[in-house]
Homo-oligomer: A and B are copies of this chain.
Amino acid sequence: MQVYNAPLRDMRFVLHELHDSAAHMQAIDRTDVTQDLIDSILEEAAKFAQDILLPINASGDEEGCRYENGVVRTPKGFKDAYTRFCENGWSALASPAEFGGQELPEVLGKMVEEMQCSANLSFGLYPGLTHGAVLALLGHATEELKARYLPKMIEGTWSGTMNLTEAHCGTDLGLLRTKAVPQPDGSYKITGNKIFISAGEHDLTENIIHLVLARLPDAPKGIKGISLFLVPKFIPTDDGRPGQRNGVTCAGIEHKMGLKASATCQLVFEEATGWLVGEPNRGMHSMFTMMNAERLSVGIQGLGVTETAYQSAVAYAKDRLQGRSLAGTKYPDKAADPIIVHPDVRRTLMTVRAYVEGCRALSGWVAKALDLETKATDPALRQESEDFVALMTPVVKAMFTDLSFELSSMALQVYGGHGYIRDHGMEQLVRDARITMIYEGANGIQALDLVGRKLPAHMGRLMRGFFHPVQQFIEDNASDPNVLPLANAFGALQQATAHLAQAGMKDPEEAGAAATDYLRLLGLVALGYMWARTAKIAAEKLPAANGEAGFYKAKLTTAQFFNDRLLPQAGALWSAIKAGKASMMALEEAAF
């Protein structure tokens, strides 16, 4: 009963109108990717998400993955859907042509990813992790490893995983204990236990390629003594078939709050054969290629789930008859008015909508920079884009996922008691959304990454790169009263940034105390900027919009709602940041 129709019109708006896809393709020298091509791929992706992935979302949650004697079975329909996914080329969408990929730009890839996550988050994880592993191997593996593994992974016949967490360490990977012992043939024997490994074992692919963090003998203690290894479930034969079974087994799967069709595995490595990826003791560096990609993907997951929650709540609000409009009966022929007439239901739907569309606009901006950081013909633009991706990765990851849980819960509320029972699938969305706040670096860690690494980097260069276009826009539109809320929020962000630069430099705990509120403040301003630009475009196009007038009017109204109701939180966030660490840190541990 979950409702999802890919928001193609909005996606086209974000790609073509807000972020000028034509200019973008020129900047990355890909004018072959025309607007028509993009639109037709979006349409195909929409069909796949709606027709193949959505129908097995609720049933996948109900059935869950099953574990027996080391074997994990995904729910009914997952294997078939995955096979079609690969046959239709979706697994190869954004991967390099050299290894069989279609090498389409990320601006398109991220939209397709969003659709898959909207329709079936559990499913999306399997190819999503493979794509992340592909990126890590592309960046750091030897040519031999690349040639042996990438084509199979890109076509989707083999899948990928990332193995970081152990029972005693998740955030603090410096504590990890898994060992890697070099062998005379240049390979390594990997021994240790990993937990929370998504897609660590399943029945979708003929082989599973684990990327595993482990310690070499005599490696330095802590985070600088960790190396990355490729450990296949089956060691490939020279002609590319899965050969001998490797020493990695699944000891069980977790029983989780949600995401039940995604297998979360405990993996045991017993002298498993592996190969080094990247340099020894530089495993965190190599893994971060995958992690950064995954963090953005997790943000998109959050956005995807929220879109489905929004559409489902809208459908219910139009259908459910209850009470009469406070402004007088709207549907006298019905027993009651549909609940969408009630202001509080409107408030809920508009809140979800304003965030979802704002986040999609922002994700489009970040995806653009993802393309530009590696493919822009202009080297200055490359650097600028790399900065922007680095700055926005924690924001997209943490804000989109915090919002996802908050907003899918708001959408559930529209259903009343019917949202709390399984039948409509709303409670699944809330349960599924909840993990996105945790994995790939809990959101508190994202905030620390933002204030501890990204802000101080290059003397604040990353932040200035964001401030500049926002400030320019505000100045260019100073006469527009609708830009005032953005200017106010931006002022709060500037003050908070100055505060952090000063207080956080002297005392890292001050930075830590401000981190989460600062991340949200930055995110809100970024959304406010997206909405202000959206409103400007909508206002310009409205007079000649004809059949599309409704679309642009809705954009203007939603932008206004964002300014009226959501952007003012910036002031409260700045107040909280300004208060500093004193009352947060004063309580003695024993007093808790």
How many subunits of this chain does the assembly comprise? 2
8 Å CB contact of A343 from B438, B557, B581: B581
Q: B512–A342 contact, CB under 8 A?
A: yes
Contacts A560-B582, A576-B564, A591-B550 known; A256 to B347 CB distance under 8 Å? no
Q: Which residue on chain B has the smallest CB distance to residue A569? A: B572
Chain A 580-592 interface mask (CB, 8 Å, partner B; 1/0): 1111111111111
Report B-chain residues with C-beta under 8 Å of the C-beta of A314.
592
Contacts A257-B420, A322-B172, A576-B564: A347 and B553 contacting too (C-beta < 8 A)? no
List residues 331-345 of chain A with CB under 8 A from any CB of chain B: 335-336, 338, 340, 342-345
List residues of chain B with CB within 8 A of the CB of A511.
326
How far apart are A455's CB and chain B's nearest CB, in angstroms?
15
Interface pair A413/B427, CB less than 8 Å apart = no
| Separation of A187 and B450 alpha carbons in the complex (Å) | 70
The CA-CA distance from A586 to B555 in the complex, in Å, is: 11
Question: Do the beta carbons of A587 and B575 come within 8 Å of each other?
Answer: no
Chain B residue numbers with a CB within 8 Å of A321 are 168, 172, 175
The answer to whether B170 and A336 have CB atoms under 8 Å apart is no
Contacts of A413 in B (CB 8 A): 437-438, 442-444
If A171-B323, A430-B434, A516-B347 touch, whether A589 touches B416 (CB-CB below 8 Å) is: no
Please tell me the size bucket of the interface on A: 35 or more
Quote the shortest CB–CB distance from A24 to chain B (angstroms): 28
Which positions 487-512 of chain A face chain B at CB distance < 8 Å? Answer: 507-509, 511-512
A579 within 8 A of B: yes
Is A270's CB within 8 Å of the partner chain B?
no
B349 & A256 in contact (Cβ 8 Å cutoff): no
Evaluate contact between A322 and B557: CB separation under 8 angstroms.
no
**CB <8 Å contact, A346 and B575:** no
A306 within 8 A of B: no
Q: Quick one: closest B residue to A354, CB to CB?
A: B583
State in angstroms the CA–CA spacing of A323 and B445 once bound together. Answer: 11
Cβ 8 A contact of A196, one of B417, B513, B569 = B417
* Interchain CA distance A171-B420 in the complex, whole Å: 15
A8 interface residue per 8 A CB criterion: no
Taking CB atoms, residues of chain B closer than 8 Å to A338 are 589
A353 nearest CB across to chain B (Å): 8
Interface centre among A165, A343, A586 (most CB of B within 10 A): A343
Q: Which residues of A contact B (CB under 8 A)?
A: 165, 168-172, 174-175, 195-196, 254-258, 264, 314, 317-318, 321-323, 325-327, 335-336, 338, 340, 342-350, 353, 405-406, 409, 412-413, 416-422, 427, 430-431, 434-435, 437-439, 442-444, 447-448, 507-509, 511-513, 515-516, 550, 553-554, 557-558, 560-561, 563-566, 568-569, 571-572, 575-576, 579-592
**For the complex of A and B, 7 pairs with smallest distance between CB atoms:** A343-B512, A564-B579, A568-B575, A257-B427, A344-B444, A561-B583, A560-B583
